[in-house]
Amino acid sequence: MEIQHLAGATSFFPGKVNVGCFEREGEVWFVDSGLDDEAGRRLARWVESEGKKLRCVVTTHSNADHCGGNAFLRRRTGCSAAATPLEACIIENTFMEPLLLWGAFPFAEITNRFLQAKPSRVDVLIIAPGAFDDSGLKAVPLPGHFLDMVGILTPDDVFFVADSVFSEALLEKYRIMFVMDVQAELETLDLLERTSAAWFVPSHADATRDIGPLAAANRRTLMMVSEAVLDCCSEPVARDEIVKRLGQRFGLSMTISEFLLNSAAVAAHLTWLRGQAQVAPVVEDGLLLWRRTP
Instruction: Report which residue type is found at 238.
Output: A
- Going by the DSSP 8-state scheme, the letter that residue 137 receives in this structure is -
Q: Where in the chain is the domain with CATH 1.10.10.10?
A: 224-292
Tens-level pLDDT at each residue, the chain (294 residues): 899 999 999 999 999 999 999 999 999 999 999 999 999 999 999 999 999 999 999 999 999 999 999 999 999 999 999 999 999 999 999 999 999 999 999 999 999 999 999 999 999 999 999 999 999 999 999 999 999 999 999 999 999 999 999 999 999 999 999 999 999 999 999 999 999 999 999 999 999 999 999 999 999 999 999 999 999 999 999 999 999 999 999 999 999 999 999 999 999 999 999 999 999 999 999 999 999 999
pLDDT of residue 232: 98
Cα separation, 33 vs 15, in Å, equals 11
Three-class DSSP category at 290: strand
Angle between helices 212-232 and 256-275 (to 10 degrees): 90
CATH class of 224-292: mainly alpha
pLDDT of residue 1: 81
Q: What is the DSSP string of 162-221?
A: EEEEE-HHHHHHHSS---S-HHHHHHHHHHHHH---SEEEEEES--BS--HHHHHHHHHH
pLDDT of residue 50: 97
Strands 158-166 and 150-153: antiparallel
pLDDT of residue 159: 99
What count of residues does the chain have?
294
Q: Are 282 and 289 in contact (CB under 8 A)?
A: yes
Q: Are 152 and 20 in contact (CB under 8 A)?
A: yes
> For 70-85, what is each residue's pLDDT tens digit?
999 999 999 999 999 9
Q: Where in the chain is the domain with CATH 3.60.15.10?
A: 4-163
Does the predicted TM-score (pTM) go above 0.85? yes
CATH class of 4-163: alpha beta
pLDDT of residue 70: 98
> Phi and psi dihedrals of 286, rounded to 5?
80, 10
Cα separation, 174 vs 45, in Å, equals 33
> For 195-248, what is each residue's pLDDT tens digit?
999 999 999 999 999 999 999 999 999 999 999 999 999 999 999 999 999 999
Sort 294 into a burial class: Cβ within 10 Å, 0-12 / 13-18 / 19+.
exposed
Category of 34 on φ-ψ map: left (φ > 0), alpha (ψ -120 to 50) or beta: left
Best CA proximity match to 152, nearest among 25, 290, 58: 58
Three-class DSSP category at 265: helix
